[in-house]
């Protein structure tokens, strides 16, 4: 089996330094690609939001469609995937790495049956060498 995880962060911590790293993941057969799995969920969400032409689904744009629609999409995703997250007050880059490592630990705990792990991490303004060192320690 294979674990496929899509990881994203809330962006640069602003307003009281609140920061969230979340992972949406699923254990799938080895033949399923990360693109195939993610594309289906993304297309369904885009259709629900009427955002088929958007290059990226942004929360602020989705929120304009109404909380009822956003809530339905979140429930649909939670039925199909497991969702893990870490929320904290970030003082600097190390705290952001700490949040990512905490989410990675949760994934590792849930992925014992997986022989392969694929992590798709959205662009983040983090030092990649520090990220690699942090993840290797898991």
pLDDT over 70 at 124, yes or no:
no
- Sketch out the chain's domains with CATH numbers: 2-136 (3.30.420.10)
Q: H/E/C letters for each residue in 86-121? A: EEEECCCHHHHHHHHHHHHHHHHHHCCCCCEEEEEE
Is the per-residue pLDDT at 131 higher than 90?
no
Average pLDDT value for the chain: 83
Measured CA to CA, the distance from residue 97 to residue 59 in angstroms comes to 22
Q: What is the dihedral of CA 109, 112, 116, 118, to 10 degrees?
A: -20
Mean pLDDT of 14-32: 85
pLDDT of residue 113: 85
87, pLDDT greater than 80: yes
82-89, strands of its sheet edge to edge: 82-89, 18-28, 2-9, 116-121
Residue 11's pLDDT band (cuts 50, 70, 90): low
With tokens 């330094």, the residue in question is 17
Q: Which residue has the higher pLDDT, 116 or 10?
A: 116
Using CA atoms of 100, 103, 109, 112 in order, give the dihedral in degrees to the nearest 10: -70
Tell me 77's DSSP state: H
């Amino acid at each position: 089996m294979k674990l496929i995880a899509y990881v994203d962060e809330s962006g640069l911590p602003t307003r009281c330094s609140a920061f969230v790293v979340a992972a949406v993941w699923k254990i799938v057969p080895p033949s399923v690609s990360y693109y195939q799995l993610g594309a289906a969920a993304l297309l369904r969400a885009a259709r629900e939001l009427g955002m088929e032409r958007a290059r990226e689904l942004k929360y602020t744009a989705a929120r304009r469609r109404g909380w009822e629609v956003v809530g339905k999409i979140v429930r649909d995703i939670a039925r199909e995937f497991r969702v893990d997250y870490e929320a904290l007050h970030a003082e600097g880059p190390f705290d952001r790495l700490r949040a990512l490592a905490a989410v990675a630990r949760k994934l590792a705990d849930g992925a014992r049956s997986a022989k392969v792990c694929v992590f798709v991490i959205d662009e983040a303004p983090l030092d990649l060498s520090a990220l690699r060192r942090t993840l290797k320690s898991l």
